[in-house]
Structure 1
Amino acid sequence: MAALLLAGCLALMGCSTGSPASPGPNNYGDTATARSRIAPGNARFDLPEFGFTFDYPEQMNQHLHPSPGDQFFVNLTAEGRSIGVTRQPLRNPVTVANIDQAKSDLDRIMSFFPGSPQAGTRVEVAGWPGVEYNYDYDASVDSFTHNRRVVFYAESTRYDIICKSGDEHRRELDSACQTALTTVRPR
């Protein structure tokens, strides 16, 4: 629920032009649009509502959650772990030129979540600018105590990949999340 509230707040907020991007983001995914083979044991997230594809463990089940307007939420689940994928349109595009302002806005909003870090880390996902957060919730707040959220921007669209698990399934989730992030490709 907290993820949906955050997504709604940020979709309404949009972002303004800020200072030039700082160098050296971490890189995930691939900018090539050519289709790669799916590794054995994986399935492909490939919905026309999203501007990208990625691979994930085939034992995860896909659940679609269309929202009013242009927002969209997909949840990939398996026992004790989840990868959420969201799409929200923005009023103003976010690019490399203004990612620092977008990051500052995200950092401020994420600071309200229990266990969330004060600042995210700049990343690049398949050539798109983004921000990554790793944080843990207390089990009294959410049974999925370990969280990794990667937010990235394709111009006027914001995408989130949110990986969550409890202690028992953290290793499997870390592997599934890494598979998803390293296989992101533009459509």
Structure 2
Amino acid sequence: AHVRYLVLDEADKMLSLGFKPQLDRLYGMMLASYDSTAAAVQPVAATAKKDGAAKKRKKGQPAPEPSEPVAVAPPAAVEGGCARPQVLLLSATMPGEVAAAAAQWLRRPEEVSVGEGGANAISRTVTQVVHVCAEHKKPDKLLKHLGRIRDATPPTERNPPRVLVFCNRVKTVRFLAGMLAKEGYKAAQLHGQRSQ
């Protein structure tokens, strides 16, 4: 079996957690042979006689015009009849560490950005609200805010507004999900300790 794609998802997170040595090792095991083959293969024409023997020339003599083209592998290296796997590096952010890894691991990369206005742009369809308050008042403040949103939504609305609440601890996410469920809200948790 041959690998056709290598997907490095959440590359920024993996690198920030210190997985660069493991990713380098994975890269080396899967792609280094393709890259060394690519470096060794030059897309140049060679000459050959009809019997297949190459012409010999003295040192310093210019290369003769090709009499018969000889197939040479393209720069995208082929090993064992298989092209180099396509590498996809996915990242929510593009800090210097990710950009350096991309330069190391990718060949002729294409960058695809989602959204308008650069990396820090916010969609026009999203309204951000920040309430500053004491820690112990946050749950009540959140419930009041969600209540205002619910009250402002017509009962006939088929697609009520969706709300994202960001927390800085997994235990806070779990607490809020439980609290919101008790108050009748449909709430889903999204955090790094969920099984995939």
| TM-score normalised by the chain length of structure 1 | 0.25
Q: Name the structure where strand makes up a greater proportion of residues.
A: 1
Structure showing greater Rg: 2
Structure of higher RCO (CA pairs closer than 8 Å, 6+ residues apart): 1
Q: More helix per residue: 1 or 2?
A: 2
Q: TM-score, normalised by structure 2?
A: 0.24
